[in-house]
Amino acid sequence: MPMELLSTRTLSDLDGLLYLGIGSVAGLAIARAALSIVRRLASASTNPVHEAFVRSASPPLLLLGFLLGARASLRWIEVEPTLRDDLHTGVRVAFVLLVAWGVLRAASTAGELARSGFHARGRVSVALLVPVAVRVVRWLTIGIAVLGVLSQFGVDVTHLLAGLGIGGIAMALAAQKTLENLFGGLSVVLDQPLRPGDSCRIGSVKGVVEEIGLRSTRVRTADQTVVALPNATVANAEIENMSVRTGLRYQMVLPMRPDAPADTLEACTHELADLMRAEPMLTAASVGVQVKGWNAGILEVECTATTTTTKGGDFAPVRERLTIALLRAIEARRLNLPGTSA
């Protein structure tokens, strides 16, 4: 159709509205076709993340295609300058809102995927922070969208940003300790020196980690009390995590007669080492039996080894049985101190 005929159409004519409708439907059809291709590619990748993001982005992209089609049709429709400016402003505002909607949906999808992934890998503490991160992204997106809409209506957002900056500084100063604990909690969760359920020592506090929150870390002690440690303190404290050790240390100092003959003493140390290597809960390569020397007139022999278990409750009865066996071996060779026996 000749361009001069198209340019005579206005929004008050039926033809002008028809062109507007055709442009909108064409834009929607193009967006739908593009999304169909993207869906096929996402399905072919066999990656559920791709399909999830395509599903979340589909509604905003379809509306965006509809909007761009309507915007393109205005080029062939005669509109009054003031009305044209208003229509362009409305299109830009709708564009900002659609982008914000898409970002919000993508953030929710990313949050669900991240939380599921962290739970699957056992990183429960990190998974607990995912909703907080998603909420922060949502509020930032909403704030930016509001500023974008206001700027389209001619509002000078630089003054608003300056005011928000000053207010943010004031809030940061007022909540300095809270922010310090928040960032301390983030560092603990991301660095992961501790996890809920770990047996640990944080400074002078020893117990089992029950919860790592945004402000504090809660530790249940052996007295069954709960100590809440500020995360800023935890982040800067010396942390000993007993749950990641590969074994327990067995150490026993056995007293012997100070006048023990050297040959008998040597044979006794070999027998003690053999007894310890025969214990299945001890690592044979870690067994060590050494004569330490005299202490207050008593000859001391130190027996050390590393266990194959990390649970003290499992090794406690073995420790008792092994210690008694070592003492009996000393008695059998008459190296025990007078008046002592197993």
Whether residue 342 is predicted with pLDDT greater than 60 in this model: the reply is no
Question: Confidence class of residue 2 from pLDDT cuts 50, 70 and 90?
Answer: very low
Whole-number pLDDT of residue 270: 92
CB 31 within 8 A of CB 61: yes
pLDDT tens column, 265-300:
899 999 999 999 998 889 899 999 998 888 888 888
Whole-number pLDDT of residue 4: 42
Residue bearing the bigger pLDDT, 14 or 20: 20
Task: Find tokens 């993340």 and name the residue.
Answer: 49
Q: What is the mean pLDDT of residues 88-106?
A: 84
Residue bearing the bigger pLDDT, 205 or 8: 205
Gap between the terminal Cα atoms of the chain: 111
The share of the chain scoring above pLDDT 70, in percent, equals 77
Question: Confidence class of residue 220 from pLDDT cuts 50, 70 and 90?
Answer: very high
CB 69 within 8 A of CB 23: yes
Whole-number pLDDT of residue 64: 81
pLDDT tens column, 150-203:
887 777 767 666 666 666 666 555 555 655 666 666 677 666 788 888 888 988
Residue bearing the bigger pLDDT, 8 or 285: 285
Whole-number pLDDT of residue 133: 79
Whole-number pLDDT of residue 314: 82
Whole-number pLDDT of residue 8: 43
pLDDT tens column, 120-154:
776 666 676 777 778 888 888 888 888 888 887 77
CA-to-CA separations, 325 to 33, 277, 292, 302, 320, in angstroms, rounded: 80, 13, 20, 15, 9
Question: Confidence class of residue 225 from pLDDT cuts 50, 70 and 90?
Answer: very high
Whole-number pLDDT of residue 29: 84
Work out the mean pLDDT of the chain and round it to a whole number.
78
pLDDT tens column, 20-39:
677 778 877 888 888 788 77
Q: Which domains does the chain have, with CATH numbers?
A: 3-160 (no CATH), 184-244 (2.30.30.60), 249-332 (3.30.70.100)
What angle in degrees, to the nearest 10, is found between the helix axes of 157-174 and 176-191?
A: 80
CB 65 within 8 A of CB 52: no
Query: Per mean pLDDT, which range of 7-16, 175-184, 252-261 is the poorest?
Result: 7-16
Residue bearing the bigger pLDDT, 312 or 95: 95
Beta bridge partners of 282: 307
Whole-number pLDDT of residue 274: 92
For 224, counting Cβ atoms within 10 Å of its Cβ (0-12 exposed, 13-18 middle, 19+ buried), the class is exposed
The whole-model pTM stands at 0.48
Whole-number pLDDT of residue 15: 58
Phi, psi (deg, nearest 5) at residue 300: -115, 135
Question: Confidence class of residue 305 from pLDDT cuts 50, 70 and 90?
Answer: very high
Q: What is the mean pLDDT of residues 303-326?
A: 87
CA distance 94 to 116: 33
Q: Which ranges of the chain would DSSP assign to H, the alpha helix?
A: 3-6, 14-44, 48-73, 81-120, 124-152, 157-174, 176-191, 231-236, 262-277, 312-332
Whole-number pLDDT of residue 150: 82
pLDDT tens column, 48-86:
777 777 778 788 888 888 777 777 777 766 666 676 677
The share of the chain scoring above pLDDT 90, in percent, equals 8
